[in-house]
Amino acid sequence: MENMKILYLRVNQYCNARCFMCDFWKNDKMEIKDEQFDEVLNKLGKIKMVRFTGGEPLLCRKLPEYVSKCHSKGIKTSLITNGLILDKKIDTLVKNGLDQIVISVDGSTAELHNSLRGVERLFEKIDKTLKIIKNNYPSLLTRVNTVVSEKNITDIPNMVRWLDENCIKQWPIIPIKLEQHKWCDLMEFEDFKREYMKFQNAIKDCNVELMGYSAEWAGKDIKQFWKGNSFIRPNGDCNITNMVTFYNPFTKSFHPCNCIPHRKNSFENSTDEINWYFKHGHEFCEGCEPLNAFCADFPEKIDENIFNF
């Protein structure tokens, strides 16, 4: 693991939102221990970036301290958040050296986004924080992640305009991982195709960079994607497994990708898991994130700029 470049670090596993696609809000309020954080940071001392995740990492009481420790070692820091309490935390985090904010936004209106994330006034809080960043911290890298599902696919073209208006530079799109049902069970193909083509037209003149394969999040054959027979995944060996590691302090386990903890596959040790997914991930993984699949195919993009992942 000495060549790893990016560490995904789960600092807690509970959340203050009730997103329809996630049940972290049901978990106990557990946080990573100081000794666990120090141990993993020392073990992966050559990494270039730590991306803090959860749960909702902003609920972790010692998060600013962890950001500061990384900053003091020359390690870049990134944070994935739902944004609910970001307006209260942003000043402290930036002062401690935070380099990047990744905010989850699934709708261009308060009504839609708040309903999908199960929190009143969440969209309004995000809007407020984006203004703070624009006015006070213009050099802070700001990205928006969007999970696309049957619940918001008609709004995705509107998201393009909203992102431009808010000067967001990077936009990964993540098709929802429909494990129990498929797009074809949720909407007619002609409806899916029509909405997908509206998205394709909307992105032609936008300023935001669609990360990885996000511009074609349904893949090359959208009918097979709609049927559930085609998935976004790497085209060959998964180079992400040699560049990215995910640490879960609550199971004390490392995984070779931030998507792996959700997969139903078990290994005796992390080395076996890395080697297996490197060779077989592109055959096994159903619904890889478009940015992950792209970086697996073009790992040099991470070497060019660590924030390309």
Cα 38 from Cα 127, distance rounded (Å): 35
**pLDDT the model gives residue 33:** 96
Q: For 250-273, how does the pLDDT look when each residue is reduced to its tens digit (9 = 90+)?
A: 989 899 888 876 666 678 788 888
Q: Report, as an integer, the average pLDDT of 127-144.
A: 95
Q: For 158-201, how does the pLDDT look when each residue is reduced to its tens digit (9 = 90+)?
A: 999 999 999 899 999 999 987 667 899 999 999 999 999 999 99
Supply the pTM of this predicted model.
0.94
Cα 107 from Cα 251, distance rounded (Å): 33
Element (H, E) at 245: strand 244-248
Better-predicted residue by pLDDT, 235 or 25: 235
Lowest mean pLDDT among 48-52, 102-106, 216-220, 267-271: 267-271
Q: Report, as an integer, the average pLDDT of 92-104.
A: 98
**pLDDT the model gives residue 22:** 83
The torsion of the CA quartet 253, 297, 307, 164, rounded to 10 degrees, works out to -120
Asked if residue 1 has pLDDT above 70, the reply is no
**pLDDT the model gives residue 20:** 83
* C-alpha 130: how far from chain center: 18
List of E strands, 62-107? 76-81, 100-104
Q: Report, as an integer, the average pLDDT of 19-25.
A: 82
**Domain boundaries of the chain, sorted by first residue:** 6-308
Cα 89 from Cα 104, distance rounded (Å): 16
Sign of CA dihedral 108, 111, 116, 119: positive
Lowest mean pLDDT among 68-82, 118-132, 247-261: 247-261
**pLDDT the model gives residue 2:** 67
Query: Could you write out the DSSP letters of every residue in 123-188?
Result: HHHHHHHHHHHHHH-TTSEEEEEEEE-TTTGGGHHHHHHHHHHTT--EE-EEE---SS--GGGTS-
Query: Domain 6-308 is classified in which CATH homologous superfamily?
Result: Aldolase class I (3.20.20.70)
Cα 214 from Cα 216, distance rounded (Å): 5
Cα 238 from Cα 95, distance rounded (Å): 36
**pLDDT the model gives residue 286:** 81
Percent with pLDDT over 70 in the chain: 97
Cα 270 from Cα 79, distance rounded (Å): 24
Confidence band (pLDDT; 50, 70, 90) for 69? very high
CA contacts within 13 A on the Cβ side of 184? 9
| Token pair belonging to 158 | 């509107």
**pLDDT the model gives residue 21:** 82
Asked if residue 290 has pLDDT above 80, the reply is yes
Please report, for residues 26, 129, 142, 145, 198, the alpha-carbon distance to residue 134 in angstroms, rounded to integers and kept in the order given.
34, 9, 10, 18, 29
